[in-house]
Every structure is written in C-alpha cells, then in structure tokens.
Structure 1
Amino acid sequence: MKQIPTVKSTSGWLRTIRQINAILRPLEFMEQRSRKHGDFYQVTFKKSPPTVITSNPQAIEDIFTASPDKFEVGRGNKGLNFLVGDNSLLLLDGKEHKNRRRLLMPPFHGESLQKCSEQIVEITNKVSNRLETGKPFKVRSLTQEITLRVILSVVFGIDSGARSERLRELLTTLLETFNTPLNSSLIFFPFLQQDWGKFSPWGRFLLLKQEIKTLIYAEIAERRELLAANQLENKDIFSLLLLAKDENGAGMTDEELHDELITLLFAGHETTASALAWLFYWVHYLPEVQDKLRFELNSWDQSSNYQSINNLTYLNAVISETLRIYPIAAGTFARLLTQPMSIMGYDFEPDTWLMISIYSLHHREDLYPNSKQFEPQRFLQKTYSSYEYIPFGGGNRRCIGSALALLEMKLVTATILSRFQLRLISDRGASRRHRPMLPVRRGLTIAPPASFKMMIESKID
C-alpha cells in the first residue's frame, strides 16, 4: 500500500502560533505547505483523525465524482452554527441535504436568472447614483450594498420598506464583526466567544444576531398569514421555502426557515461583494485590461441583459481570472470519510478528513503559468476542467448560487463601467512597477482590504 507524505502536527504553543499564522496570513501559509509537502499530503494530530490536503486535479476528481454517501460534510461545518443555525444547508448531510438542495436550486437557474437581470441593473444604478465625481469611496462598501440589496430582492422579494432597510443595516453591521484578520479570530477560537455585554465584540454580535432573527421571524409570520389566506405569491425563494412540503406533507418549521434564509443572505452576497471589489481593482490596476474590456462593452446590448451579457467573452475571462488569482474561499469545506476510499492509489480509512486547497490549485504553474500575474487571456486560450478550476467548489457541495453570482458580477461591472470612468486612489496602484494590492482575511473568506478606495473621474454620457 502506498504511503502518503505525512506532516506531524505540533502541539502546545507552537501549534497555536501556527494556527494564528494560518488565520492572519492564510495564502502565505498554504504556499509554504505546498512548497514543502507537495500537492497531496496528510496532517496528523494527536487524538484526532488525520486530515488530507490536496491541490492535485486527479485527487480532486476522485473526491468530486465519488458517491456523496462516502462523506459527511455537515458535521465538519458545525462550527458555523453560531452564524447560520443548526438547520442550514451547510450543516445537512445525506438525504436531508439532497432534498433541501433540490428545493433551493431552481430559483438560482434558468428563467429565474432572466428575471433577476433587470433587478440587478436597477439596483446597481440606484446605489451607484449616490457616487460623486472626485469624491473617494470604499469599493467594498459599494459592492456589498449592491449585492445585499440584490439578495434581499431575490430571496425575500423585497428591496424597500422599513423592515428591509433595517435588515440590510443589521446584516452589514453584523458582518463587520469579522472585517479584519484579528476580528476573524473569533470564528476560529471558540474561547474568544465570550459575551461581556454590548460593548464586547461577541456580545455586540449576539445582540445584532438576535435583532436580525426577530425581523426574519416577523417576516415569516406575515408570510404564513398570507399563505393561510391563500394570498401568498410563489415568486421569491422565501415563498418557495414556505410552500415546500416533504414526502410526508410536512412543511419547514419557523426555525428551519430562519436558518436557511440567513444562510442564503450571508452566502449570497458576502462572497460576491468581495469578488466584485477585486474585479474593479484588477481592471483599473492594469490599463490594458480596462481598454480591452471597455472596447468589448461598447457592443453590449443593455436592452437584453441576460442574453447579451453572456456573449461578452473578454468580460467572462476577466471574471474567471479574478476568481482564480484570489479565490474568495481559499479552500473547500472538509469532507469526512464514512467508509474506506482509495484516492490516487492511497487508501484511507473512515473518519479521515479530506480538504481541497482551491488557492493552491489555482496557482499550479503546470496549469496556470505565471500564476501570480493577472492574465485574463489564459481563459481565452484554454478551457479548464471542473477539477482544475473550482472557485465555487464542486461535487454535490458546489455553490448553488454560482450562476447568480456570475450573472451579478457581469451585470454590475458592465453597468458601472458603462456609466463611469473610475480610477484607483493610490498612484501606486496605477503602475505594474509597484506591488499589487494583497488580500486579507475577512471571516472565512479572502477579500480586498476594507480600506481599498476608488474615485469617479468622470461620468460617461
């Protein structure tokens, strides 16, 4: 039997220091591991199951194409229940996960996306109308407001009104709890999750979470009244979830509805907001990329957003490269083996954790030469398999909102660039002679620094 390279984990303070390093400098940490141990290795911990980490396309294919029955993923995500609750899709496994996923998929694909396109453009115009020529703005604040309004419209069917506005304010504030690498430590070290009142980070988080929960429960009660009066319209995801029945004819409880809605709200906009911020950065950091993109956008027919936007091949390549160079999720959720499995000739026993490093995969020089360079043309010259390029994960755990996220990135980018000539605030970002902006940890994701700013130079008639 082949023996996989094994890294013995340290214990005590040294292990804690390495954990902190992985939190504060996650990409550097993964690069160091890959250089030292290769693309397929095992980490062992005392009194804990081994963890296998890979960025090998063949190993990834073996994992993604294996029967879902071989894994439990929800158990590994239990640490997220403080944010999404115990009934979230992220924490489900087996038949329950399959049924919930089947229920949630349709609104994020097909004709539903066609309907979303007009909402996305309308919201983008509404939010960007507040930008003033010559006045700097924080890019992530702009993209976060756009994506949050979009997801509130798509999930809840609302984008106005007192409850919607308060929910938007609370969600934005709640996410700022984890807006720095240091604050993100609250997620990874449970002993820091101490409620010392509203002025403590965790106490403030719990108060915000409770107010959000109260608002969502009020929305659920209102929708149930409409359902009882046969006045509930089957349009948004909220309504679909409320109407859904299992094989025994039972609907979702209020708690299950809340947890699923909160998951969609967080997962549906936080990641897209960061990806959009990166996209605006790269387009304006590299003048030749902006020139090519603006030339292509001149052919965009805004009257048929959904169809025409997908024909912009260079825009598609720019988005693909944005999601490659700094994937928002640096790795996939861990999969826990429930039965023996062989991967690339290595045999693994049940209770082995399998993790895929998306960042390391996307920086393989054999797949992506000059991987540290932003080069959209690589996606015009080659088609990558779903085991070589995985910004949304893969297998039965692939992000259900990937199609909506891509459509949103295309439409928001095209809409704003068609209206404004932007520039980076720092002159350092205007030349490739200077080092590009580096990502930072934001909760579970990798994002541009919150301080990243741009400015409108002029408006385009």
Structure 2
Amino acid sequence: MSNKLPAGPQTHPWIQTYQWVKNPLGYMEECAKKYGDTFTLRVGPLFKPQVLISHPQGIQQIFTTDPKHLDSGAPAGAGAPLLGPNSLLSLEGKTHQRQRKLLTPQFHGERMLTYGELINDITKEETSQWQIGEVFPVLSSMQEISFQVILKAVFGLKDGERCEKLKENLIGILNPKRPLLRVAMIMFPFLRKDLGTWSPWGRYLQLRQQLDELIYAEIQERRCLRRAELSQLDPSRTDILSLMMAIRDEAGEPMTDIELRDELMTLLVAGHETTASSLAFALYWIHSQPGIYEKLLAELDSLGENPDPNAIFKLPYLNAVCSETLRFYPVAMVGLNRLVKSPLEISGYKFETGTIVIPCIYLTHHREDLYPDPQKFKPERFLERQFTPYEFLPFGGGNRRCIGMAFALFEMKLVLANVLSNWHLELAETEPVKPIRKGLLLGPDGGVNMIVKGKRLQNQPVLEKAR
C-alpha cells in the first residue's frame, strides 16, 4: 500500500484549473491515458489534492465507506452559493441523514406516477407550438418542458404572475449569458464582488434575492392556507412542496422555511438543466441512427393509443436508450467530492485526513473493459448485461445518490415517448453534436438543431413521413 498520492499533472494549479474549466472531458481523458484510472489533480477553488477514481472497485469503496470516515457536504467543497447551507448537497452527518430520510419517499412509487399526466400535458403544450418546416434548437423546448414540470410538479405553482416572475428569475440565474464567468465566480469566492447590478456578481445577488422573495411568499401563503385548514386535506395538492411541508421528522418537527427554500433550490438546479440536456442528447442519438429510431417507435406503438405512463416507464428498449444516453455524455461528469475524515485505503492507496476523493462518472462510463467500443452509441449493451451501481453511475451513488433519480428517468421517458409518438423530426445538421461545459454540467453544443417534418399518426410506418 502506498502512502503517496497517485500520480498526476505537475503543471501549476492555475494551469490545471484552466484546462479543467475549458475542456474537462479532454483533460480527464488525457490524464487517464497517462496516469491510469486513479490520478491526482489540483484545481480551484480548493487547490488541495483531489484524487479522481474511475475503477469500479475504487468507486465501490467510496460509496460503501461509512460517512463518518468519508463524506461529502460543504467541508468537501460541495454545494453552491445559490443552494444555501441547508441543501442536501451542503449538509453532512446526521443532519444530512435526517433530510434525506424525509425527502426520499416524495420521489418514489405511487407518488411519482401521479405526475405522469402532468408531464404529458406539459410536453403536448410545448410541442404544439412547433411549426412544420421550422429549424429550432430542441434543447430550448426541452428546457421549457423541464421548467414547467419543476414549477408545477415540484413548486405546485399555477399559471400566473408569480409563476412568470419565478421563471424569469430562474432563467437569469440558471442560463447566464456568460456561463464560464459564472463558473469562475462560483469556484473562486474572491471574484464575488458586489458592485451593484451592473456587475456580474451584483446582478446574480439581485436575481437570487428576488427568487428568494418569491419562494418565501409561496411558502408563507401555503402555511396560511394550512393553518386555516383550507388545504390540509386537499387531495389535489400533490406537488413536492406541499408534501415537504406536511412531513415530520422522528421528533415530530416540520421542515423550516429556510430548509424548504434550500431544498427547493437544490431540486430546481439538480433537476432542470440536467434533464433538459439529457433529453436533447437522447433526441440527437435517436435521430442520428435510423435503426434506433425504428426500434423505439415499434416498441412505443406496441402499447397502443394513450398508453399508461407506468407501461412507458417499464419499456426495455426505451430504458436502454435513456441509459446509453446517460452513459455516453453524463451531464454530471464527476460525482460529489468526498472528504477523507480519517485515514483509509482506496484502490491500493492510503489517504490521509483532509484528502478529497472524487468518483469520475465520465471516465468510468468510457472504460473499454466495461463498455467495449465506448465511443459508439449502442443501447443494446444495456439489454445484454446489467451493470452494477459502481459501473453505471449517472446519478452518483452511496449516501449521495440523487434522490430525484427515479423522477428524472420517469420524466425523460415520458417526454421522449410523447415527442416520438406524435412528431417527425430530423437533424438539421450532419456534423456530430459535441458536449460543452455549461456551468458545472455538460450540455450539447448548439442545442441540437432539428427540423419539424410533420405530425405523426399512431402506428404510421416510419417511412411514411409527412412531406
């Protein structure tokens, strides 16, 4: 067992940080080729050694180690200024365990399935605005659908002034005009200079304050309604916010307004751009390979008209296409940082207290020994074998696995089924779509430009496209 850190680039930390921000996938691939599946980087804002691990055995050790010895949260550099200290991403220890236990049931089972009709309605409303012959970036439509699902399924907002203001502020925060500058400000606190609304950080703070005012106003309004017993037994309130306000911990205590706000922001940030980008990537892959498109349509058509959302969720080939999309370009390139709290061994290395270890999702998903010919989009690989949670990890893992995983997959499958069953689309460009950094995540460069060829009738053969 080695007491030394794994090898890694010897360039200045600022140069490493620049390469990590500018071209994260290329930089990781270059390091893996040179140093193997465990290597050390020194990138900002921490600049301390950060060990990236892409071997399934090492990832299993990370995910199964007791959080007392290895955990994420604010001390590990997780979380962000927008989310707040009570976000699941920022919390650690017993507080994190309490919040996770309270929130997880809200995203599973029958509760999740209740959102099927809502997701379908939102998708139909957005796609009904498509014009035949129009060329458009499909990512924009997927962002709008994802936004509406979050505003209505998570926040429980009805159409109106507050909904529009919330949406306007969210777009300003989540889709900045200069995303790399926003990344830099999030990564490096010394760049956060509030010089008024004309400065980037000042504008960000203004948007965040307006967003908080809207969220707290919604929470207070709901609390007043509950105290007046007007909505306590209202079965129509199935949104996540209402469910979160109703839950109690083991001591009988509800979540505070600040806790509700921080968790809502976490769900928003974690669930909006991630799902939209994954949907855009999926539509790109489906339409770039005719064989995949034909198989998917045949599977969807086999369910008949107006299929049950649960039946769509269980379709094997649709699941394989979604899984391969999440494998090829995982929107989250790496898992959450883990901070070593007491000396431990991972992948043959002994790590001292204070070391940061990071499961590398992208490199794991591109291992030749797990995924032969990894640069080929091949959904069949997910029908031919089952991958362990340490081999396929688009939602992270261990005590930090995304609690919205089932909901995100449900939304992704329903939106794809709805779009493919009702529309003929074609790619507008022959050039391959490449991923680019969008804040802390990956997204499709150019937004995936597509052409609307026409409406599709149920069970209409693939070749009978509207001309």
Shorter-chain TM band: over 0.9
Maintained 8 Å contact 2:76/2:339: no
Superposed, 1:162-181 pairs within 5 Å as 162-177=161-176, 180-181=179-180
Name the amino acid aligned to 1:307. N
Maintained 8 Å contact 1:328/1:446: yes
Maintained 8 Å contact 1:4/1:41: no
Name the amino acid aligned to 1:33. C
Deviation larger for 159-168 or 54-63: 159-168
- In structure 1, what is the equivalent of residue 115 of structure 2? 116
| Counterpart Cα distance in 2 of 1:48 and 1:261 | 30
- In structure 1, what is the equivalent of residue 39 of structure 2? 41
- In structure 1, what is the equivalent of residue 20 of structure 2? 22
Maintained 8 Å contact 2:300/2:312: no
Superposed, 1:247-396 pairs within 5 Å as 247-301=250-304, 303-396=306-399
Deviation, structure 1 residue 204: 2.1
| Counterpart Cα distance in 2 of 1:91 and 1:393 | 15
Number of residue-to-residue matches in the alignment: 452
Work out which of the residue numbers 439, 442, 447 in structure 2 matches 1:443. 439
Q: Say whether 1:411 aligns with 2:414.
A: yes
Work out which of the residue numbers 395, 400, 405 in structure 2 matches 1:397. 400
Task: Name the SS for the 2:379 alignment partner.
Answer: coil
Deviation larger for 19-28 or 183-192: 183-192
Name the amino acid aligned to 2:151. L
Superposed, 1:57-96 pairs within 5 Å as 57-76=56-75, 78=77, 80-96=79-95
Task: For structure 2, list consecutive stretches of 5 or more residues without a partner in the other structure.
Answer: 458-467
| Counterpart Cα distance in 2 of 1:171 and 1:271 | 15
Deviation, structure 1 residue 247: 4.0
- In structure 1, what is the equivalent of residue 201 of structure 2? 202
Maintained 8 Å contact 2:16/2:43: no
| Counterpart Cα distance in 1 of 2:205 and 2:412 | 31
| Counterpart Cα distance in 2 of 1:101 and 1:379 | 29
| Counterpart Cα distance in 2 of 1:240 and 1:124 | 24
Deviation, structure 1 residue 23: 0.6
For residues 294-337 of structure 1, give each alpha carbon's deviation from its aligned partner in whole angstroms, at most 9, with x where no partner exists: 22221134544332113321111111110001000000011101
Distance verdict in 2 for CA 1:94–1:382, change over 3 Å: same
Name the amino acid aligned to 2:276. A
- In structure 2, what is the equivalent of residue 433 of structure 1? none
Distance verdict in 2 for CA 1:76–1:289, change over 3 Å: farther
Deviation larger for 249-258 or 57-66: 249-258
| Counterpart Cα distance in 1 of 2:221 and 2:394 | 37
Maintained 8 Å contact 1:187/1:443: no
Name the amino acid aligned to 1:26. P
For residues 119-173 of structure 1, give each alpha carbon's deviation from its aligned partner in whole angstroms, at most 9, with x where no partner exists: 1111100111111111122211110110111112221222422211221222122
Task: Name the SS for the 1:454 alignment partner.
Answer: strand
Name the amino acid aligned to 1:30. M
Distance verdict in 2 for CA 1:130–1:343, change over 3 Å: same
- In structure 1, what is the equivalent of residue 142 of structure 2? 143
Maintained 8 Å contact 1:9/1:45: no
Distance verdict in 2 for CA 1:82–1:302, change over 3 Å: farther
For residues 153-212 of structure 1, give each alpha carbon's deviation from its aligned partner in whole angstroms, at most 9, with x where no partner exists: 221222422211221222122211176445533322333332333233322222211111
Deviation, structure 1 residue 8: 5.9
Name the amino acid aligned to 1:7. A
Task: Name the SS for the 1:185 alignment partner.
Answer: helix
- In structure 1, what is the equivalent of residue 463 of structure 2? none
RMSD of aligned Cα (Å): 2.2
For residues 202-223 of structure 1, give each alpha carbon's deviation from its aligned partner in whole angstroms, at most 9, with x where no partner exists: 2222221111111111101101
Distance verdict in 2 for CA 1:153–1:184, change over 3 Å: same
Task: Name the SS for the 2:452 alignment partner.
Answer: strand
Maintained 8 Å contact 2:140/2:447: no
- In structure 2, what is the equivalent of residue 432 of structure 1? none
| Counterpart Cα distance in 2 of 1:255 and 1:5 | 40
Q: Say whether 1:423 aligns with 2:426.
A: yes
| Counterpart Cα distance in 2 of 1:138 and 1:304 | 28
| Counterpart Cα distance in 2 of 1:86 and 1:280 | 36
Maintained 8 Å contact 1:5/1:40: no
| Counterpart Cα distance in 2 of 1:191 and 1:282 | 41
Name the amino acid aligned to 1:25. N
Maintained 8 Å contact 1:198/1:207: yes
Name the amino acid aligned to 1:212. L
| Counterpart Cα distance in 2 of 1:164 and 1:139 | 23
Deviation, structure 1 residue 236: 2.3
Deviation larger for 58-67 or 301-310: 301-310
| Counterpart Cα distance in 2 of 1:198 and 1:271 | 28
Distance verdict in 2 for CA 1:309–1:227, change over 3 Å: same
Fraction of identical pairs, as percent: 44
Maintained 8 Å contact 2:62/2:359: no
Deviation, structure 1 residue 255: 1.9
Deviation, structure 1 residue 240: 2.5
Deviation, structure 1 residue 45: 8.9
Maintained 8 Å contact 2:81/2:186: no
Maintained 8 Å contact 1:84/1:263: yes
Deviation larger for 173-182 or 358-367: 173-182
Deviation larger for 408-417 or 186-195: 186-195
Task: For structure 1, list consecutive stretches of 5 or more residues without a partner in the other structure.
Answer: 430-435
Task: Name the SS for the 2:81 alignment partner.
Answer: helix
Maintained 8 Å contact 1:89/1:260: yes
| Counterpart Cα distance in 1 of 2:362 and 2:43 | 23
